[in-house]
Amino acid sequence: MTVITDYLATVPEAHRSYATEMYELLKKLLPKATERISYDMPSFWRGHTLVYFAAAKNHLGFYPTPQPIIAFEDDLKAYKTSKGAIQLPYDQPLPAELITKIVEFQKQRYQV
């Protein structure tokens, strides 16, 4: 068990598989990152927090910080975003390709 798998156990069953899919993808993309809970959200840290995610009532929040949201503005038009957050609706497939691009951007940005 990790701090993130402990978190996933608290996610409502209806959304747990979606959140777990995100976790598995991030683990694969960030194998050397430390898994943490920060601001009550799962996060991946490697000298800096690279990304956070959290289950909400109607979406999975993905928090890569503001810079990737600006950089991928065109790719994110289908999603509700704010300064540092992307809302991924549970009724749509997890956009693994887009998440991968954002994580790779963060890895380059922080030279991870």
**What's the pLDDT at 95?**
98
Supply the DSSP string of the chain, one letter for each residue: --HHHHHHTTS-HHHHHHHHHHHHHHHHH-TTSEEEEETTEEEEESSSEEEEEEE-SSEEEEE--HHHHHHTTTTTTTSEE-SS-EEEETTS---HHHHHHHHHHHHHHTT-
**pLDDT score for 11:** 98
Instruction: Say what the pLDDT of residue 41 is.
Output: 98
pLDDT at 25: 98
Percent with pLDDT over 90 in the chain: 99
> Tell me: the pLDDT tens digits for 78-93?
999 999 999 999 999 9
Predicted local distance difference test score (pLDDT) of residue 46: 96
pLDDT for residue 76: 98
Domain 3-109 listed as CATH 3.40.1160.10: no
Q: What is the pLDDT of residue 108?
A: 97
Instruction: Show the low-confidence residues of the chain (pLDDT under 50).
Output: none
